[in-house]
Structure 1
Amino acid sequence: MNFDITEEQKMMLETARQIGERYGLDYWRKKDAAKEFPHEIWQAICDAGIAGMMIPEEYGGLGLGLVDLALCIEELCKGGAGSTLSQVFMLNPVFGGVAIALYGSDEMKRDLLPGLCDGSCTFSMALTEPDAGTNSLAMTTRAERVDGGWRISGQKIWITGVAASRKMLIVARTTQPQDGVKKTHGISLFMVDTAREGIGHTDIDKLGTHTLPSSVVYLDRVFASDAEVIGTIDGGWPQLLDILNCERIVTTSGLVGTGALALRLAVDYARERKVFGSRPIGSYQGLQFPLAQRWAELEAARLLNLKAASNFDRGLPFGSESNAAKLIASQAASGAAEQAMQVMGGMGYSRETHAERLWRDARLFRFAPVSEEMILNYISTVNLGLPRSY
C-alpha cells in the first residue's frame, strides 16, 4: 500500500491550500453571520478545476479520482471553512457529478456536467422525509407514470442548498412495496429543474451551517420526463447507495480538515496564553492530552477515508470503510472543536475566535448525513455478522 503523494497531487493540494487560505476564517465568519451562500469560494474552486476533478475530460473535468478530491477537500476546509464547505461538494460533485457520471444518460452528461465543472450548474438532493428519516425505504413520495414521463408527489425535509441549486435529484417510489419482494425494489431517481412547477420549499431555522440553508420541500405532481431518470426505474436503490457512500467520503474529508483547523486554533492559543505564572497553558498535560487524542482519531479517520476513496476509484466495495471513517471523523472533529473552545475558556465562546462556528457546524455530522447509531448498526450486522436489531 503506497501512502506517497504524487507530484501532481502536491500541486493540486497547494492550489487548494491557497484558495482555502484566501477565503479564510474571517470570510466564513461573515458568510455565517449573513447566512449567505459562499459563491466566491465556490467559483474559485470551479475555476481551479477542483469541482470537476472526478468528471471525465470530455465533459470539462480533469478525469481524476475520489482520492484526489478527498485530499483537496481536506485542504480547503482546513484553511478556514470547516465542515460546511464539504456540504457544497456533497451537493455538486456528488449529488450532481457522481449521480450523472455513473448513471446519467449520455445526453444528460453532455448537458449538465460541463456546467458542474464551471460552476454554472448547481445541485441539491431530495431524499429524507418527515416520517421516514434514516429509514429511506419507508419513503412515501411517489412517482406515477403519465404520458411521456412521471408525476412526483410528496414531502421532503432537511434538504440542503435548495435555493442555490439549479437541479434537484429527487428520490421517489415508482413501485409500492409488495409481499415477497424486497423493499429496496421500486426506488427511482429523477434529476429535475429546481424551479419546476410544483416544487416549493421553506427554510428551517437551525443551529449552524448557516451558509447552506436546509429546507422542507413540497412536491405537488412535479413532472419528470423519461429523459430525466437517473439509472433504472425501480432499480435505483443500489445506485443511491453509491451516491450516499461517496457523500460519506466528502463529509469525512471536510471533518478531517475541520478537526485539523480546530486543533491549530487551540494549539496557537495554548502556546501564547499564560496564567498562574510565566508558563503557557499549552505546557500542561491536562490540555495536551485531549488535543493529542483528537489528533490520533482524526489521523485514523483520514487514512480509513482515503482507503474508502481508493476502493471507489478501483471499483471495489467501499461502504464499510466510508461509514466507519465518517463515524470516527464526526466524533473527533466535533470533539476537537469543543476542546478548542475549552482551551480558550471564555474566548472560545466568542465568535471572534472562530471555534464556536466550527463546533456548531461539525456537530451536525454526528447525526447527518447518517447518524452514528445507524453506522454502528451497519457495522454490527455487515462487518460483525450480528442479527439485525431493527
Structure 2
Amino acid sequence: MHVIQPMTEDQAAIRDAVAKTLEPFDDAYWAKTDETGEWPEAFCDAMAKGGWLGIAFPEEYGGAGLGLTEAALMMQTVTRSGAGYSGASAIHLNIFGPKPLEKFGNPELKRENLPKIISGQEKMCFAVTEPNSGLDTSSLETKAERTNKGYVINGRKIWTTGAQRADKILIIARTTPKDQCAKPYMGLSLFYTDLDRGKIDAKPIPKMGRKAVECNALFIDGLEVPKEHLIGEEGDGFKYLLQGLNPERVLFAVESVGLGFAALERATRYANERVVFGRPIGQNQGIAHPLAKSWAELSAAELLAYKAAALYDAGQECGAEANAAKYLGTEAGFTACETAVLTHGG
C-alpha cells in the first residue's frame, strides 16, 4: 500500500508559479491557435524561459532536478488553465521524452543536446508508431542498417508530433531481424539525430481539433545516422524506450484530469448563473448530479496518477498504476468535457 502525501509548500509554489507564467495566455490566445493552426510559439517560449521544460532533468544540464510528481503538477496546471491539449501537446515531449537520451546516451551526445532541449533552443520529435504496427512496437518495420560510419534508416512512421518544426528526431528502428532475436522486442535500437529534411518527408495529418500542434506521417529514405548518435547499446532500444513510457502515461492522465476540471469549473459557473423558471439550473438534480459524478471520477483518477508518480519518484515499479491512471484519467476527462457541454445546453 502506498499512501499519497499532501502537497508540500514547494510543490504548491511550483503550481502557483506555473499558473503565473500562463496568465498571458487566455482563451482568445488558444482559440486563435486552434483556428489558424499556428504553433503556440509565445507559450513555448514563456515555458522555456521560466525553466519549466527541464523540470525533471538534472541540474548539470540546466534542469531543475525535480521528479515526476512536480512535472505532473506542472502539466495539470497547464491544461487546467484553459490551454488544454493545445498547450500540453506543445511541450509534453520535452518533459520526459528525452529521458532515454539522459539515461543511456553517451556523454558527448548528452552535453551537446540536453541543455538545448531544456532551454527550448533545440526542438525534437519522437518517432515510434508505424502504420502497420500501431502500439505493437516489437513489430515495427523501419530498419537501420549498419555502414562504415554508422547507420542508414529507411521506413515509415505515423502520428509523429511536431515534426514540421523539429531540428532533431528520437527514432527507434530494427537493427536485427525479428526472426534472429530470442524475443520479439529485442533487436530494436534507439537513435537521437538530426532531422534531415532531404531524407525525411513529413506530411501533416488532417485532424478535427488541436490544430495548433500537428501530427505527421514520416517517410524516411536513406537517413544517415553517425554511430555516435546511437543511444546505449545496439538492440536494446525497446528497454530504453520504457524509461519514458510510464512517466508519459502519468502525464497524459493528469493532463486529461486538468482539462476535465477546467470544463467542470466553467460548467458549474454557468449552472449557477443560468436562471430558468425562476432559479439557477444548477439547483436541478439533472444538472447537478452529472457534474458531481464527474468531479468524483476526476478526483479518483487524479489520486491514482499521483500514486503512480510517487512510486516512480521512489524508484518503485509503477507500470500498472501508470497504465490504469492513463485509462481512468482520459475517460474521466472526456466525460467531464461532455458533461460540461451538455450543461451549457440547459
Normalising by the smaller structure, the TM-score range is over 0.9
In structure 2, the residue matched to 1:287 is 287
**Alignment pair present for 1:278 and 2:268:** no
* Alignment partners' CA distance in 1, 2:4 and 2:333: 26
Q: 1:63 to 1:206 in 2, by over 3 A?
A: same
What is the SS of the residue equivalent to 1:178? helix
Contact 2:37 2:212 in 1 (8 A): yes
What is the SS of the residue equivalent to 1:299? helix
Contact 2:308 2:321 in 1 (8 A): yes
Structure 1 residues 188-217: Cα deviation after superposition (integer angstroms, max 9, x where no partner): 111111235311111111111211111110
In structure 2, the residue matched to 1:236 is 237
Give the letter for the 2:66 counterpart: L
What is the SS of the residue equivalent to 2:179? coil
The more displaced of 61-70 and 85-94 is 85-94
What is the SS of the residue equivalent to 1:175? coil
Contact 1:128 1:157 in 2 (8 A): yes
Contact 1:196 1:222 in 2 (8 A): no
Deviation >3 Å, runs of 4+: none
* Alignment partners' CA distance in 2, 1:183 and 1:137: 5
Q: Identify which of structures 1 and 2 has the higher relative contact order when contacts are C-alpha pairs closer than 8 Å and 6+ apart.
A: 2
* Alignment partners' CA distance in 2, 1:69 and 1:303: 15
Contact 1:141 1:153 in 2 (8 A): yes
Cα offset, 1:322, TM superposition: 0.9
Structure 1 residues 66-89: Cα deviation after superposition (integer angstroms, max 9, x where no partner): 111101111121111113322233
* Alignment partners' CA distance in 1, 2:93 and 2:267: 30
* Alignment partners' CA distance in 2, 1:195 and 1:81: 31
In structure 1, the residue matched to 2:131 is 130
What is the SS of the residue equivalent to 1:133? coil
* Alignment partners' CA distance in 2, 1:180 and 1:173: 11
* Alignment partners' CA distance in 1, 2:203 and 2:48: 28
What is the SS of the residue equivalent to 2:218? strand
Instruction: Tell me the TM-score normalized by structure 2.
Output: 0.96
* Alignment partners' CA distance in 1, 2:208 and 2:31: 14
Give the letter for the 2:221 counterpart: D
Q: Give aligned-pair identity as a percent.
A: 37
* Alignment partners' CA distance in 1, 2:262 and 2:4: 26
Cα offset, 1:342, TM superposition: 0.6
What is the SS of the residue equivalent to 1:61? coil
* Alignment partners' CA distance in 2, 1:240 and 1:310: 20
In structure 2, the residue matched to 1:25 is 27
In structure 1, the residue matched to 2:46 is 44
When the two chains are superposed, the root-mean-square deviation of aligned CA atoms in Å is 1.5
What is the SS of the residue equivalent to 2:316? coil
Contact 1:86 1:253 in 2 (8 A): no
Give the letter for the 2:271 counterpart: A
Query: How do 1:147-162 residues align onto structure 2 when only pairs under 5 Å count?
Result: 147-162=148-163
What is the SS of the residue equivalent to 2:275? coil
* Alignment partners' CA distance in 2, 1:146 and 1:244: 30
Runs of at least 5 residues in structure 1 that lack an aligned partner in the other structure: 347-390
In structure 1, the residue matched to 2:211 is 210
In structure 2, the residue matched to 1:74 is 76
Structure 1 residues 276-331: Cα deviation after superposition (integer angstroms, max 9, x where no partner): x1111111111111111111111111111112122222221121111100000111
In structure 1, the residue matched to 2:261 is 260
What is the SS of the residue equivalent to 2:209? coil
Give the letter for the 1:52 counterpart: G
Give the letter for the 1:129 counterpart: E
The more displaced of 281-290 and 138-147 is 281-290
Query: How do 1:232-381 residues align onto structure 2 when only pairs under 5 Å count?
Result: 232-275=233-276, 277-345=277-345
* Alignment partners' CA distance in 1, 2:59 and 2:127: 28
**Alignment pair present for 1:190 and 2:187:** no
The more displaced of 2-11 and 111-120 is 2-11
Structure 1 residues 80-137: Cα deviation after superposition (integer angstroms, max 9, x where no partner): 11133222333212222x2222222211221111112211112111111111112221
* Alignment partners' CA distance in 2, 1:140 and 1:49: 37
Contact 1:21 1:80 in 2 (8 A): no
Cα offset, 1:219, TM superposition: 0.6
Cα offset, 1:158, TM superposition: 1.2
Contact 2:44 2:91 in 1 (8 A): no
Cα offset, 1:4, TM superposition: 2.1
* Alignment partners' CA distance in 2, 1:252 and 1:114: 27
Contact 2:58 2:64 in 1 (8 A): yes
* Alignment partners' CA distance in 1, 2:253 and 2:63: 23
Give the letter for the 2:144 counterpart: A
The count of residues paired between Structure 1 and Structure 2 equals 344
* Alignment partners' CA distance in 2, 1:256 and 1:19: 20
Contact 1:256 1:329 in 2 (8 A): yes
In structure 1, the residue matched to 2:221 is 220
Query: How do 1:157-176 residues align onto structure 2 when only pairs under 5 Å count?
Result: 157-176=158-177
* Alignment partners' CA distance in 2, 1:280 and 1:253: 31
Query: How do 1:58-69 residues align onto structure 2 when only pairs under 5 Å count?
Result: 58-69=60-71
Structure 1 residues 159-181: Cα deviation after superposition (integer angstroms, max 9, x where no partner): 11111222111111011112671
Give the letter for the 2:141 counterpart: T
* Alignment partners' CA distance in 1, 2:21 and 2:30: 13
In structure 2, the residue matched to 1:9 is 11
* Alignment partners' CA distance in 2, 1:135 and 1:141: 13
What is the SS of the residue equivalent to 1:169? strand
Contact 2:4 2:306 in 1 (8 A): no
